[in-house]
Amino acid sequence: MTVASPPIASAESKPLTVLFRLLERDERVFAVLLAVGMVGGLATLGLFPLRPRHQVDLYRLVFWFAAYKLGVFALVTVYPRATRLIFLGALAVDLCLVFAIICLTGGVESVFYLLFFPLVAINAYYFGPMVGLGAALAAGGLYGAAAALVPPWAGWTAVFIVSMLAGLPAVTLGLVAERERRARGEVERLNEELKGTLTRLETAQGELLVAERMATVGRLSLKVAHEVRNPISAIELNAEILQDIVREQAGPDIEEAKHLVEGILDQVSTLDALTEEYLQFARFPKAHFEEESVNQLVEELAEFIRPVAARQGLTVRVETDQRVPLLEIDRGLLRQAVLNLVKNGMEALSSGGEITMASRCAGDVVELEVEDTGGGIAEDVGRRLFEPFFTTKPQGTGLGLSIARQITEDHGGELRWSNGPRGAIFTIALPAKRPVHA
């Protein structure tokens, strides 16, 4: 029995929940308040005794007035973008209805002119003081028209009094409402700013945590790299001595030994390169800028990597833009950055394909581009491409692209990547004039 009770309570509260959701918008709240004020006022004033010749069917009048207000509420719900126009139309209709009721119930002798007051006040709260003042003047004019149509004439003093009694509270209420809306808007704006600040703070905290972890990993890697270099040097030295020994011997077993020694030296070289890259990342040098030719740097680097690329079955193509001016760069560091991009492309190609190295002048920016024909980079990999220690290669360190980006940023530039029609494209964008802070 206790298990079944929560759904029952939920089912009973569901209509109330739906109703409160409907009333969340200010326009719907205004429609309900106006309906309650007008229908309630009409019903209350109906208790006042009227002369026999001015009797009206109060129940039917209240019913149709409530139905009319329900229709206004429905229109606002269905056409939320036209709420202001709907409410202005409803205000005009309400004023005319009150005018008609006054005429039917005795003109100046009717008490139903009091309906002008809540009508004008509530509309002033929603539309502001100017509409409230206009509605008050219209109410005074309609009251005067009713007095003129249904004698006796009450005089202009009565018309003025009705206009003032309706207008002064309406203008005051409108001003208060505008001030309240401005204050609420300011609170909402500050709330949004606070949310944005909290979001940025959470992001910064996350980045700080990652940075602390990376710093710890970096310190550990630096220590390991230092400790490993001495054994690596000893292994390499002994392997070279062993290679000299077996080179002087002959026989089937000796040939196999030569291959084994060559394999040892190859793996030692790989391990030495890995430790060197870690140390380079940990002890990143400060850039020293001098005017250099970027085109010459690209051409020299292409000549340097061509023999290695040819052994891998790769073609190296160079495209330089003669409009590229001399730039203030650290030649050694920028060469290292471009070389890291080229190595990344060669590893992506494995065997066969083309590496394109290009320079171009694009307004105030000089771009160095490295493109391969390796098929591009997956989106999930691209999101983490420049993270330190992130790699998809079995023997990679995950530092090559991080080092390239750091060098580029030290030059006041930007390193970005994209997938072209043939493969991945890495672009180093450098300012033609290096910023003072770079």
Confirm whether 296 is domain-assigned: yes
Same domain, 252 and 377: no
192-197-198 Cα angle (round to 5): 100
- Segment (H or E) for 144: helix 129-149
141-145, 262-266, 320-324: which range is least confident on average? 262-266
* Closest alpha carbon to 332 in 275, 366, 288: 288
* Closest alpha carbon to 135 in 150, 148, 122: 122
Same domain, 162 and 213: no
Answer yes or no: are the C-beta atoms of 178 and 134 closer than 8 Å.
Answer: no
pLDDT for position 317: 92
- Segment (H or E) for 148: helix 129-149
Q: What is the mean pLDDT of residues 241-259?
A: 77
Same domain, 249 and 358: no
DSSP per-residue codes, 318-342: EE--TTPPPEEE-HHHHHHHHHHHH
pLDDT for position 429: 92
pLDDT for position 222: 66
Confirm whether 140 is domain-assigned: yes
Which residues 6+ apart lie within 8 Å of 118 measured at CB? Answer: 37, 38, 41
Same domain, 20 and 125: yes
Answer yes or no: are the C-beta atoms of 132 and 123 closer than 8 Å.
Answer: yes
Same domain, 258 and 319: no
Same domain, 269 and 360: no
Domain boundary among 249, 282, 315: 282
Same domain, 410 and 350: yes
* Closest alpha carbon to 373 in 319, 314, 427: 314
> In the sheet that 353-362 helps form, which strands lie side by side, from edge to edge?
314-319, 353-362, 365-372, 424-431, 414-419
User: pLDDT by residue (tens digit) across 163-208?
Assistant: 888 888 888 888 888 888 888 889 989 999 999 999 999 888 888 8
64-68, 328-332, 429-433: which range is least confident on average? 64-68
pLDDT for position 26: 64
106-115, 288-297, 311-320: which range is least confident on average? 106-115
Domain boundary among 196, 224, 256: 196
User: pLDDT by residue (tens digit) across 365-403?
Assistant: 999 999 998 878 888 887 887 777 677 776 666 678 888
* Closest alpha carbon to 313 in 373, 269, 267: 373
User: pLDDT by residue (tens digit) across 2-29?
Assistant: 444 444 444 445 554 544 454 445 666 7
pLDDT for position 36: 77
3-state secondary structure of 300: helix
Confirm whether 304 is domain-assigned: yes
Confidence bin at 248 (pLDDT 50/70/90): confident
Q: Which residues pair with 66 in a beta bridge?
A: none
**Higher pLDDT pick, 233 / 417:** 417
- b/e code 252-285 from CB counts within 10 Å (16+ = b): eeeeebeeebeebbeebeebbebbebbeebeeee
CATH code at position 224: 1.10.287
pLDDT for position 3: 41
Same domain, 109 and 60: yes
- b/e code 375-414 from CB counts within 10 Å (16+ = b): ebbeeeeeeebbebebbeeeebbbbbbbbbbbbbebbbbe
DSSP conformational letter for 394: T
Confirm whether 436 is domain-assigned: no
Same domain, 123 and 260: no
3-state secondary structure of 418: strand
Same domain, 33 and 176: yes
Q: Which domain holds residue 139?
A: 5-196
Alpha-carbon dihedral sign for residues 385, 388, 393, 397: positive
Answer yes or no: are the C-beta atoms of 412 and 393 closer than 8 Å.
Answer: no
DSSP conformational letter for 404: H
Is the per-residue pLDDT at 47 higher than 70?
Answer: no
Confirm whether 422 is domain-assigned: yes
pLDDT for position 297: 93
Same domain, 157 and 54: yes
Q: What token pair was written down for 324? A: 């590229």
Confirm whether 307 is domain-assigned: yes
DSSP per-residue codes, 303-317: HHHHHHHHHTTEEEE
pLDDT for position 316: 92
The number of helix segments (H) and strand segments (E) in the chain equals 12, 7
Confirm whether 202 is domain-assigned: no
User: Could you tell me the CA-to-CA distances from 239 to 14, 131, 251, 272 in Å, in that order?
Assistant: 81, 96, 19, 14
Please name the residue that has the structure tokens 């010749």. Answer: 53
3-state secondary structure of 288: coil
Q: What token pair was written down for 386? A: 């420049």
User: pLDDT by residue (tens digit) across 341-362?
Assistant: 998 888 888 777 899 999 999 8
Separation CA 398–CA 419 (nearest Å): 20
Is the per-residue pLDDT at 53 higher than 60?
Answer: no
Query: 7: cis peptide before it, omega within 30°?
Result: no
Confirm whether 438 is domain-assigned: no
Same domain, 258 and 238: yes
Separation CA 187–CA 394 (nearest Å): 54
DSSP per-residue codes, 173-211: HHHHHHHHHHHHHHHHHHHHHHHHHHHHHHHHHHHHHHH
* Closest alpha carbon to 337 in 308, 377, 361, 368: 368
Domain boundary among 163, 196, 229: 196
Q: How many domains does one find in the chain? A: 3
CATH code at position 373: 3.30.565.10
